[in-house]
Structure 1
Amino acid sequence: MATPFHSLESYIALPRVEAAALSPDGRTVVLTVAVLKKDQTAYERALWSVPADGSGLPRRLTRSAKGESGAAFTPAGDILFVSARADADADDLESAQLWLLPSAGGEARPVTRLAGGVAAIAATAAASDRVVLGASLLPSADSIEADAALRAERKKKKVAAILHERYPVRYWDHDLGPAEPHLLAVDVDALADTVAAVAADTAAEEEAEAAPAAAAATDAPAPYPTTLPRPRDLTPRPGRAGDTDGAALTPDGRTLLVALQRPLQRGGRTALVAIDTESGAHTALVDEAGVDIAAPTVSHDGRSVAYVRARKASPAAPEQAEVWVSGIDGSDARRIVADWDRWATALTWDADDTGLIAVADDDGRAPIFRLPLDGPAERLTDDDFAYSHVHVDRTNGDVVALRSSWVQPSHPVRIARGPGGEAAGVTVLATPAPAPEVPGTLTEIEATASDGARVRSWLLLPEGASAETPAPLLLWIHGGPLSSWNAWSWRWSPALAAARGYAVLLPDPALSTGYGLDFIARGWNAWGAAPYTDLLTITDVAVARDDIDETRTAAMGGSFGGYMANWVAGHTDRFRAIVTHASLWALDQFAGTTDLSVYWQEIFTPEAMVENSPHRFVEDIATPLLVIHGDKDYRVPIGEGLRLWSELAEHHADDEGRMPHRFLYFPDENHWILGPQHAVVWYETVFAFLGEHVLGSEPTRAKLLG
């Protein structure tokens, strides 16, 4: 039966739910939904409303050419979001701003007009209209107006140069600087949207325009609009400190609890800092050498703060991510659920403040847990899904979240709670992105490693796979490496391979999360050891099945998965083809050119970095490789792909330069291939390469490759 996964054009056109927010009264969920633009070259995002009780139909709330994201609620139920949509009073402003959509109805209206735009909503308050935004300002600007003037001058003179004074200089897919990240407090209730206020603001603008000579003589920048609440800078002269690892406001909005960066030579650590949102005064609450603080969340009564605390890792061993709770002033800090060997994400307080709700990778899933302040962790969900965007309904303790699996994309659900706080059923909510039919069936397999460790994997079997017609096998290695194959990914879709007849093996080898710290430690400082042998061991179990054709196998992976694909290529010839995307090739080179080199040099000894570098085994590669890399990839820089390609040619090309390997290069993509048509080219090239070497098909070339 044909599904959207049998056609790449149909696949990229599927709508995607990306985020969810719950209204203060618990009655409404706002979803951020991405849909393919008419020209099929990008995605546009809009906000949709769905009832939180499982009834009714989705209702679209926003519509603009630039799209909307980052939805959050005010205490009154108004919806805040970030958008670069047109502002009728600032036609020349192209950057994203904070907008407010009134709950009582009416048009959305802008709340900010910052020249550099708004990056994100950092925190909102439960009982106050105070909002904290992430935004960037130029380092020499001493006001919002000065920042706007400096930006305009740089744009006019076509200056893009950046003078760096500290490391790092770029991050993932973008250059850092010249602007620095700030946290700005905005009182949304000070938004003056009356006829009189607009008239006064217009009069001030006309007065400034009437005296251009005087303005030029004083070089005075245009004033910030009086109709908009003036943002207050909570982090003046921040350097990179504004690169936070989570922030939360107390219910009254008077105190911001934030994990702020503390610079350290080439790297840094995060400390828990309390910022008075009126005075801007900073008070360090948890500021420990060698420790990172992340994901602070404030209790509903405003008396406590919870956060994740982790010591810096070293080559000796990985470190546990601990959940801590303290008074709002940092007093009486203590670790909770100390025996829980999992890493908490999506941390939020339960309705009665007697515990926390969290998500954690666990055995190939990512269930919701309750973490009591006193007592062991309690698992709330018991299904094959991974949960995210978790919100607690304070009216009854129910949980609203997104969930997904490898056979169902992200969708909103409500988890009812019983009298003891236990889960009492899951209700699927309405969505404008209904689940598509996914080809194949998902099952689990597991193996026992040589050291006795249990290694498990998902196996997606295509329709018709049987002993009579066994399917070719595609080993797909996850990235990270601290990750798990447990949630739907639009970028990596094994369903597309299943639609083309492949069985897809999705293993969690050593270094994977969700199996405890000891399982991660098996591959620590030794990426080429247990992670590699785990992959081969679970592959042996897969090909021993009578519905798998062990003579037709391939391997692929991206990022760390690309590293492992390179390592596999240099250590075995059991696979007919290998695809290596955004891959680490020469660790000594990579460690100094990646966007955060200090981390890689902290987790590897110099000896292990050499021993575990795939480039040393280039001469042993006997399997055709498809190398894929984006030039804007700053996490795994293009130099890795270029050196891999050069050394493959050096050792494997014939006298005329021919070789079985291929290099798919994207000049304007980064670590991920995000353009819809580029994604089509990516999959067309991958499946053509696999088809040639695994299925014996004739070589083909994607039409748009020319």
Structure 2
Amino acid sequence: MTTDTSRNDATTPTATSSEATADGSAAPTEAAAPPTPFHDLDAYLALPRASGLALSPDGTRLVVGVAALNHDSTAYVTSQWDVDPSGERPARRLTRGTKGESQATFTASGDLLFVAKRAIGETGEDKAKPALWVLPAAGGEARVLATRPGGVGGITAARAADTVIVTADTLPSATDTESEQRLRDLRSDNKVNAILHTGYPVRYWDSDLGPDRPRLFAAEASSAVVASAPDQAPEDEADPDAPLELRDLTPDAGAHLTNTGLDLSADGATAVTSWNRPMAKGAVRSILVRIDVASGERTTIADEAEADLGAARISPDGTRVAYLRETLSTPESAPEVTLWIAGIDGSDPQRIAAGWDRWPASFAWLPDSSGLLVTADDDGRSPVYKVTLDGTLSRLTPDDGAYSDVVVATDGSVAYALRSSYAHPAEVVRIDLADGATEPVTALRSPSPRPSLPGTLREVETTAVDGSRVRAWLAVPEGASEADPAPLVLWIHGGPLGSWNAWSWRWCPWLLVAQGYAVLLPDPALSTGYGQDFIQRGWGAWGEAPFTDLMAVTDAAEALPEIDGTRTGAMGGSFGGYMANWVAGHTDRFKGIVTHASLWALDGFGTTTDAGYFWGREMTPQMALANSPHLSVERIATPMLVVHGDKDYRVPIGEGLRLWYELLSKSALPADEDGRSPHRFLYFPDENHWVLTPQHAKVWYQVVGAFLAEHVLGQEAPVLPETLG
């Protein structure tokens, strides 16, 4: 469906005899330092992880978030770091809250805003709600700037004015802060968490929606920040302890702002936001709405019956808005994502770069409003492109990276971004925007440098049965050769509208490579980055071209001299888990299959997922009957490891429970009279679609490693971690 502490603060614990290695076996006491962090799960979990990027309006300060393990390695905490845009100075840590900081945003005057849970007044940190904090550009300690009874969710600041818009979940009948707090206390004191719904959706990923819903609140940041001018009279100074005065811009928003995006004009006068419009039969469609910040008056500027509109960005000169248009899918037609611009009042909408057969993912305006920098999946990468308003398209980044979080300097000479690939995690880079730049991309001094890898990355491609080109990344362990070939794991991506092109901490092939496996990361039919026709090949026919593409590219990998085609496994999560289930029922070529958060029975999935209206547009009864893996359960003769989290609302736990029971009762490898089976079920009661907490992620890789070692390598079942009991 188209709708993850610095290096010098991180530690790399040494394994002890009471812990387990990545393959589930006991680790020796006082183990030697691993050759790479991927040879030891504790070392891997301790690697710092960069995300989010903010640039000050004057272009002199660049801030990135870095997540690191907390003191007991049970959670990740994100701090904000200053990165030198020139690349000369080392990165410097700015924040040190024990619960972390997020949503870093600069005000027009250069103050750094962020959201954090910290103790405020008599409220201890354990009961604190996320609040808006400010770290003044003039120096000094961070202080709280705004609070809401339900916490602060997001921040948007104007680039050339003091205006700030805060997003905060608010109970529907609350009329002011006092009534909001009273209602929340009433629910808490009476232990009531019931929600009465009148519309759809009711859940999202792992969150129950309601009864509170997002509203937008406007404020003037300068009203609560002490001015730094040396000649300012004391009586004219703002109160350093004064909170922002938040004005409710959307008291009647209801569910219209749930999971939407917002942008604010440079002068702070106008906001443009996505706005959910309910439709018949539980469907929801997204339109664009302009909000006058002074009055709160709303005007619809873009509304199309056959498309979702979102990701709006206002041009620096305030005259235009750029946005993404995603057509509503049908059983016969896949969605198409395109880039559009219109006047700030919605006039004269037009598609930009109409002949470009790629899906734009994110974009940022050039400072003179002459065009945009756009990222898009392309052939296993996600480069940055420059697109002018007349449709001229040029690629700016020539490497294999996947770029995100692009921000542009005010003078238009450079941009900054996060760059990753399956060769390295996200790092901060500078992009030279001059025509013909000799070094278009330069890595800056990041707080999270690249870790050493246990192998090499290459590409594999083949021709599918219908003549289409299919490609993949292949991670190969050091030392693999014709004389000593590596076993192979086929890892299928989720989505299905996606691509293996950016580093993933959650789905990291190098942990398996460190155990001696080669890992194949293919982009079959339905993948993005290969044109609309490539997506359409698999639309409504998941078990056809996506499956035959996967088998064809696996054949190509197995033909390589360094690959042992007699020892192979397959795995996938979400849609990749669906494909793993389909593979299990349609071939016995693999020795073991891991299926995570997977779709199993399409006759029920579409109405229980958190966005049933989306699947209802594609998943007809005929499509479900033709493509449901559960109808082939009797043919499954391969041991399977089923993994599912109970808080998964995208693929509800019922899919995993039904899969598990039917494997035991109907597959070609049924359980015996004592319930013993070669299949396994790894269940996480409090994880969602992913497995995010560090120690649960460790267990996930330990169990997966043990399962593959037993069934793909033919080893005795390794000892599982003690944390499983």
TM over 0.5: yes
Deviation per residue, 1:22-47 (Å, 9 max, x gap): 11111221010001011010011111
Deviation per residue, 1:145-189 (Å, 9 max, x gap): 211111112111221111111121111011111101111112211
Deviation per residue, 1:251-290 (Å, 9 max, x gap): 1111101111111241211111100111110000001212
Q: Which amino acid aligns with 1:113?
A: T
* Preserved contact between residue 351 and residue 397 of structure 1 (Cα < 8 Å): no
* Aligned twin of 1:187: 220
* Aligned twin of 1:13: 46
Deviation per residue, 1:383-424 (Å, 9 max, x gap): 111000000112243110000011210000001122x48684
Please report the RMSD computed on the Cα atoms of aligned residues, expressed in angstroms: 1.9
* Aligned twin of 1:606: 621
Distance 1:626 1:8 in 2: 20
From 697, 701, 711, the counterpart of 1:679: 697
* Aligned twin of 2:679: 661
Q: Which amino acid aligns with 2:196?
A: L
Q: Which amino acid aligns with 1:304?
A: R
* Preserved contact between residue 244 and residue 258 of structure 1 (Cα < 8 Å): no
Deviation per residue, 1:524-579 (Å, 9 max, x gap): 00011000000000000000111100100000000000000000000000000000
Q: Which amino acid aligns with 1:560?
A: F
Q: Which amino acid aligns with 2:331?
A: P
TM-score by length of 2: 0.91
Distance 1:318 1:640 in 2: 24
* Preserved contact between residue 645 and residue 684 of structure 2 (Cα < 8 Å): yes
Secondary structure at 2:634 match in 1: helix
Give the deviation of 1:345 after TM superposition.
Answer: 1.9
From 566, 579, 584, the counterpart of 2:599: 584
Give the deviation of 1:299 after TM superposition.
Answer: 1.1
* Aligned twin of 1:626: 641
Distance 2:652 2:149 in 1: 31
Q: Which amino acid aligns with 2:342?
A: S
* Aligned twin of 1:64: 97
Stretches of structure 2 that go unaligned for 5 or more consecutive residues are: 1-33, 228-232
1:94 aligns with 2:142: no
Deviation per residue, 1:34-77 (Å, 9 max, x gap): 01011010011111101111110111111111110110101111
Secondary structure at 1:71 match in 2: strand
Of residues 460-469 and 372-381 in structure 1, the stretch that sits farther from structure 2 once superposed is 372-381
Secondary structure at 2:586 match in 1: coil
Give the deviation of 1:515 after TM superposition.
Answer: 0.3
* Preserved contact between residue 556 and residue 562 of structure 1 (Cα < 8 Å): yes
1:113 aligns with 2:147: yes
Distance 1:192 1:349 in 2: 29
Secondary structure at 1:570 match in 2: helix
* Preserved contact between residue 127 and residue 253 of structure 1 (Cα < 8 Å): yes
Give the deviation of 1:603 after TM superposition.
Answer: 1.5
Superposition pairs for residues 24-43 of structure 1, below 5 Å?
Answer: 24-43=57-76
* Aligned twin of 2:532: 517
Q: Which amino acid aligns with 1:294?
A: G
1:131 aligns with 2:164: yes
CA gap 1:192/1:386 in 2 versus in 1, 3 angstroms? closer
Give the deviation of 1:99 after TM superposition.
Answer: 0.8
Q: Which amino acid aligns with 1:102?
A: P
Deviation per residue, 1:69-110 (Å, 9 max, x gap): 110101111101011112236548611011111011011111
TM-score by length of 1: 0.94
Distance 2:257 2:131 in 1: 18
* Aligned twin of 2:367: 351
Distance 2:608 2:259 in 1: 23
Q: Which amino acid aligns with 2:339?
A: V
Q: Which amino acid aligns with 1:649?
A: L
Secondary structure at 1:118 match in 2: coil
Stretches of structure 1 that go unaligned for 5 or more consecutive residues are: 202-224
* Aligned twin of 1:690: 708
Deviation per residue, 1:472-531 (Å, 9 max, x gap): 000000000000000000001000010000000000000000000000000000011000
* Aligned twin of 2:19: none
* Preserved contact between residue 203 and residue 649 of structure 2 (Cα < 8 Å): yes
Q: Which amino acid aligns with 2:207?
A: H
Distance 1:391 1:659 in 2: 53
Distance 1:536 1:376 in 2: 38
* Preserved contact between residue 413 and residue 429 of structure 1 (Cα < 8 Å): yes
* Preserved contact between residue 460 and residue 505 of structure 1 (Cα < 8 Å): yes
* Preserved contact between residue 606 and residue 619 of structure 2 (Cα < 8 Å): no
Distance 1:371 1:395 in 2: 18
Distance 1:124 1:328 in 2: 18
* Preserved contact between residue 168 and residue 596 of structure 1 (Cα < 8 Å): yes
Give the deviation of 1:596 after TM superposition.
Answer: 0.9
Distance 1:51 1:654 in 2: 63
* Aligned twin of 2:266: 251
From 274, 297, 303, the counterpart of 2:313: 297
Superposition pairs for residues 548-559 of structure 1, below 5 Å?
Answer: 548-559=563-574
Distance 1:604 1:307 in 2: 28
Secondary structure at 1:111 match in 2: strand
Secondary structure at 1:57 match in 2: coil
Give the deviation of 1:322 after TM superposition.
Answer: 1.6
Give the deviation of 1:196 after TM superposition.
Answer: 10
Distance 2:192 2:413 in 1: 53
Q: Which amino acid aligns with 1:483?
A: G
Secondary structure at 1:27 match in 2: coil
Distance 1:687 1:89 in 2: 48
Distance 1:377 1:688 in 2: 48
Q: Which amino acid aligns with 2:722?
A: K
Secondary structure at 2:593 match in 1: strand
Of residues 351-360 and 487-496 in structure 1, the stretch that sits farther from structure 2 once superposed is 351-360
Q: Which amino acid aligns with 2:206?
A: D
Deviation per residue, 1:674-700 (Å, 9 max, x gap): 110001100000000000011111113
Secondary structure at 2:460 match in 1: strand
Count, aligned residues: 680
Question: In percent, how many aligned pairs have the same letter?
Answer: 55
* Aligned twin of 1:565: 580
* Aligned twin of 2:86: 53
Q: Which has the higher contact order (CA 8 A, sep 6+)?
A: 2
* Aligned twin of 1:44: 77
Give the deviation of 1:139 after TM superposition.
Answer: 0.9
Deviation per residue, 1:444-476 (Å, 9 max, x gap): 010101111000000000011000000000000
Distance 1:153 1:245 in 2: 29
* Preserved contact between residue 66 and residue 85 of structure 1 (Cα < 8 Å): yes
* Aligned twin of 1:473: 488
Q: Which amino acid aligns with 1:383?
A: D
* Preserved contact between residue 317 and residue 368 of structure 2 (Cα < 8 Å): no
* Preserved contact between residue 499 and residue 528 of structure 2 (Cα < 8 Å): yes
* Aligned twin of 1:702: 721
Distance 2:192 2:619 in 1: 39
Q: Which amino acid aligns with 2:52?
A: A
Q: Which amino acid aligns with 1:546?
A: P
* Preserved contact between residue 145 and residue 244 of structure 2 (Cα < 8 Å): yes
Give the deviation of 1:425 after TM superposition.
Answer: 2.1
Secondary structure at 1:288 match in 2: coil
Distance 2:131 2:580 in 1: 42
Deviation per residue, 1:117-144 (Å, 9 max, x gap): 01112x2211111111221111111112
From 82, 107, 113, the counterpart of 1:80: 113
Distance 2:438 2:414 in 1: 8
* Aligned twin of 2:665: 650
Q: Which amino acid aligns with 2:247?
A: R
* Aligned twin of 1:433: 448
* Aligned twin of 1:239: 254
* Aligned twin of 2:28: none
